[in-house]
Structure 1
Amino acid sequence: MAEVLLVSKPLAAPWTDSAKNLVHTLVTHATGHHQFHCFVPQNGHLPLPHVTCESIYANAGSYAPGLGQNMLG
């Protein structure tokens, strides 16, 4: 079985970051014989048998657009 280490931002909501979305999609839709190792926020996990989660982040963080970005819409 091949082992794959995926390094990204914490895999947790909000799902507004394409880097997190790519890793999440790779892990949740993987087929074949791969064991994935991912980093998640504390007390976070991905309930998949082929995924090992390591909690190294204190929390998932937050996202808030700047005032200038809000005014562009």
Structure 2
Amino acid sequence: MAHPAVLRKLVDEYVVLQAVHAERGDTETRGRITELACALCISTGTSDVDAALIAAHHQLPGAQVHDDSLLAP
């Protein structure tokens, strides 16, 4: 498991670059996003960037467990 500071940096940079790529669409930004996605997957033990982001948010300090079992019908 990655150190929380490293994980936070990866998540933050990934989110920012996703927004930048949405505006510019350049290949350099896309390449860095791919690198960050791989690093996030390795750091969280997942094989999908969306799962990696969810796992990272659960591993970061201040993460709270959300139990919605009482809301089920």
TM bin (shorter chain): 0.3 to 0.5
Q: Which has the higher helix share?
A: 2
TM-score, with length taken from structure 2? 0.33
